[in-house]
Amino acid sequence: MKIQIEEKKPIDVPSEWCDFEGAKFLIAGSSKPAFRRKMDILGAKIGQEVNGNRKITDESAESIPFEYNKACADLILDWDGVVDIDGNPIKYSEDMAEQLCTLAVDPDTKEKLTGGLILLINEQSERIQEEADKLKAETLGKSKNSTNGQNSTVKKKQRNTTSNSKP
């Protein structure tokens, strides 16, 4: 069998460097597929609880914000200036981004740092996505809703039937 394996192409999402607490984060727009998928799954879990199909427990109540923060970690594409307790630079990785969004605390105050970071990620990813969508619409010359709101007048294809066929 003769095959060729194509190189995996990176997914193109809008992104921008944003400052937070003395560090810079490369934040993706909110259309990033991994983020959207995790949000869909989280929404389904919440929906199951709301509809009574899934029992609400202390564990499930605590897991929702944790899962949300994990999803937000997918919107961090890189960083600069993130350091450990000894001042050593922490190299970006998807795993480290997830830890930063779910487990990070200020070493001096022991307060969680995740709330402010998640807020920044949310606000900036939405802004970045809105700006990218606006630029795309301007470039294409169309708005997101490219219809005029009128019902279209598409003609239906006529079916020929015989007396033996059922409608």
> Does some domain include residue 126?
yes
> Does some domain include residue 55?
yes
Per the structure, the complete domain to which residue 117 belongs is given by 32-140
> Does some domain include residue 161?
no
The model's pTM? 0.73
Higher pLDDT, 6 or 151: 6
Mean pLDDT of the chain: 84
* Residue 156 predicted with pLDDT over 50: no
> Does some domain include residue 134?
yes
d(CA 31, CA 132): 10
> Does some domain include residue 164?
no
d(CA 123, CA 34): 18
Percent of the chain with pLDDT over 70: 84
> Does some domain include residue 94?
yes
Total structural domains within the chain: 1
pLDDT in tens, 96-131: 999 999 998 878 888 887 888 999 999 999 999 999
pLDDT in tens, 56-104: 888 888 888 899 999 999 999 999 999 998 999 999 999 999 999 999 8
pLDDT in tens, 141-155: 765 555 555 554 444
> Does some domain include residue 103?
yes
> Does some domain include residue 77?
yes
Write the DSSP string, the chain.
----PPPPPPP---EEEEEETTEEEEEE-TT-HHHHHHHHHHHHHHHHHHTTSS---HHHHHHHHHHHHHHHHTTEEEEES-B-TTSPBPPP-HHHHHHHHHH-B-TTT--B-HHHHHHHHHHHHHHHHHHHHHHHHHHHT--SS-S-SSPP-PPPPPPP--TTS--
